[in-house]
């Protein structure tokens, strides 16, 4: 009897010591208690598993959002970028900027923004070793890297009056030869000399070829066409814009039009032929690196012209206000960044895919440009002028990090689940 009593006393003493150990204030002791008492606390492993599942879901959701998007600003908040062209490494840009005093030319580099003297600029084009600027009254400015100042080209218009000629786009490789896209207000008269007075009473678009400062006669588009972009590949020249086809130019039902431009002789006008009619106006022409594909971006659709001169409509997109091509040959379409979406046309593809991005509320863009290996979009946000940049090279490393983190969480989730199943099996 005494032996039994002694044994019970010893067990009671051990039990009290065990409880003192289990309920000590030490974190390690408390953790050991909860883990050791798994049979009484099944909610622990279940709770950890559910938590891991939730984290995995969040990581997977985040991984679907494309990294690499960064906001930036090149000009004052109350100004707006109308056109921009970067040099090849993305370190220097010339911009046509809308200000309170009218459009001006600004240069951006590591030293900041500086103004360049040029009256009423309308467009900027990158050439091999510099830039061309087009403006009012047929004025074309040219500068060579690093472009500290602009000089006017002494163009020979072959007795054509250039009053009212607004150069809205230029395409040239070397700045010596290329095409000028011109909008001009034409008064009612006809002198048969191909000058600005021979079309009568409205704004009209025309294209002229230039070489060694000599400008050809004008090839005129129909009067109800407003052409805004021109670009030349190795094999063809394409111009695009809007067409009203007999409707008033005040109508919002303008159709997109694409023209082929033929002729590289300063003695005769280029020949123009209608190539395609789209649902909405076209605003951007993008050439891939080897000129094997031309992509024309519109507000309602996107079309592509391949090396065989076949025109194909891109599937999976309804167009966008801005577009640009990156160093990988992928074309990015953007507009309202509040939507949290961009569109991507992979290099050589005829299909567009939707890409999720972090939403930027209040930002609408309408100018796209290539910058180094990435792309850049300019527009207006709630705070004023703003821009968004994307570089696929930096985004690739972020994608790798996202996938690594996701795999770590997936592995951890499966590990916890396996331990829980093993524990239940042992108890059963």
pLDDT(334) > 80: yes
Q: Where are the domains of the chain?
A: 2-63+403-427, 70-395
Q: If pLDDT is split at 50, 70 and 90, which confidence band does 215 have?
A: very high
- Global pTM reads 0.77
Q: If pLDDT is split at 50, 70 and 90, which confidence band does 266 have?
A: very high
| Fold annotation for 70-395 | Methylamine Dehydrogenase; Chain H (2.130.10)
Token pair listed for 19? 């409880």
Give which of 394, 239, 237 is closest to 326, Cα–Cα: 394
Question: pLDDT per residue over 277-288, tens digit each?
Answer: 998 899 999 999
Question: pLDDT per residue over 31-48, tens digit each?
Answer: 555 555 454 555 566 666
CA distances from 265 to 22, 35, 46, 268 (A): 95, 87, 79, 6
d(CA 224, CA 240): 13
**Mean predicted confidence (pLDDT) in 69-82:** 90
Between 78-87, 192-201, 218-227, 412-421, the lowest mean confidence (pLDDT) is in 192-201
End-to-end CA distance of the chain: 38
**Mean predicted confidence (pLDDT) in 248-276:** 90
Which residue matches tokens 């005129």? Answer: 220
SS (H, E, C) the chain: CHHHHHHHHHHHHHHHHHHHHHCCCCHHHHHHHHHHCHHHCCHHHHHHHHHHHHHHHHHHHHHCECCCEEEECCCCCCCEEEEEEECCCCCCEEEEEEECCEEEEEEEECCEEEEECCCCEEEEEEECCEEEEEEHHHCEEEEECCCCCCEECCCECCCCCCCCEEEEEEEECCCCEEEEEEEEEECCCCCCCCCCCCCCCEEEEEEEEEECCEECCCEECCCCEEEEEEEECCCCEEEEEEECCCCCCCCCCCEEEEEEEECCCCCCCCEEEEEEEECCCEEEEEECCCCCEEEEEECCCEEEEECCCCEEECECCCCCCEEEECCCCCEEEECEHHHCEEEEECCCCCEEEEEECCCCCCCEEEEEEEECCEEEEEEEECCEEEEEEEEHHHHHHHHHHHHHHHHHHHHHHHHHHHHHHHHHHHHC
Contacts of 159 (CB under 8 A, 6+ apart): 193
The average confidence (pLDDT) of the chain is 83
Percent of residues, the chain, with pLDDT higher than 90: 57
Q: What is the pLDDT of residue 245?
A: 85
d(CA 97, CA 122): 9
Contact 237, 179 (CB under 8 A): yes
pLDDT(68) > 90: no
d(CA 258, CA 242): 9
pLDDT(183) > 80: yes
Contact 282, 321 (CB under 8 A): no
**Mean predicted confidence (pLDDT) in 402-416:** 64
| Residues belonging to the chain | 428
Give which of 248, 247, 227 is closest to 238, Cα–Cα: 227
d(CA 246, CA 222): 10
Backbone angles phi, psi at 28, to 5 degrees: -60, -45
């Amino acid at each position: 009897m005494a032996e039994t009593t002694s044994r019970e006393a010893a067990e009671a003493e051990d039990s009290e010591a065990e409880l003192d150990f289990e309920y000590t204030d030490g974190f390690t002791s408390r953790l050991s208690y909860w883990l050791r008492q798994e049979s009484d606390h099944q909610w622990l492993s279940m709770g950890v598993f559910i938590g891991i599942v939730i984290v995995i879901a969040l990581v997977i959701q985040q991984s679907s959002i494309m990294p690499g998007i960064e906001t930036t600003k090149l000009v004052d908040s109350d100004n707006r970028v109308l056109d921009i062209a970067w040099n090849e490494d993305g370190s220097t840009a010339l911009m046509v900027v809308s200000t309170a005093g009218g459009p001006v030319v600004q240069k951006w580099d590591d030293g900041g923004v500086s103004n360049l003297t040029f009256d009423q600029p309308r467009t900027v084009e990158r050439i091999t070793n510099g830039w061309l600027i087009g403006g009012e009254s047929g004025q074309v400015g040219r500068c060579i890297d690093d472009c500290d100042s602009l000089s006017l080209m002494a163009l020979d218009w072959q007795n054509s009056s250039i009053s009212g000629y607004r150069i809205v786009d230029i395409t040239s490789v070397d700045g010596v030869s290329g095409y000028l896209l011109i909008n001009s207000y034409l008064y009612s008269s006809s002198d048969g000399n191909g000058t600005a007075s021979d079309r009568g009473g409205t704004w009209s678009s025309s294209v002229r070829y230039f070489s060694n400062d000599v400008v050809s006669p004008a090839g005129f588009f129909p009067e109800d066409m407003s052409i805004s972009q021109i670009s030349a590949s190795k094999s063809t020249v394409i111009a695009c814009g809007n067409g009203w086809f007999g409707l008033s130019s005040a109508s919002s039902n303008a159709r997109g039009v694409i023209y082929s431009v033929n002729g590289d002789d300063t003695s005769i006008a280029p020949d123009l032929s209608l190539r395609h009619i789209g649902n909405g106006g076209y605003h951007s022409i993008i050439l891939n690196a080897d000129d094997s594909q031309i992509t024309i971006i519109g507000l309602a659709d996107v079309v592509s012209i391949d090396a065989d001169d076949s025109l194909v409509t891109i599937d999976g997109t309804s167009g966008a206000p801005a577009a640009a091509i990156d160093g990988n040959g992928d074309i990015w379409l953007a507009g309202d960044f509040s939507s949290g979406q961009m569109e991507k046309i992979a290099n050589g593809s005829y299909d567009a895919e939707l890409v999720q991005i972090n939403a930027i509320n209040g930002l609408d863009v309408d100018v796209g440009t290539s910058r180094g290996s990435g792309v850049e979009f300019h527009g207006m946000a709630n705070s004023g002028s703003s821009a968004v940049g994307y570089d696929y090279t930096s985004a690739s490393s972020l994608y790798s990090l996202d996938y690594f983190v996701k795999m770590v969480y997936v592995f951890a989730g499966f590990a916890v689940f396996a331990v829980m199943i093993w524990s239940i099996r042992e108890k059963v």
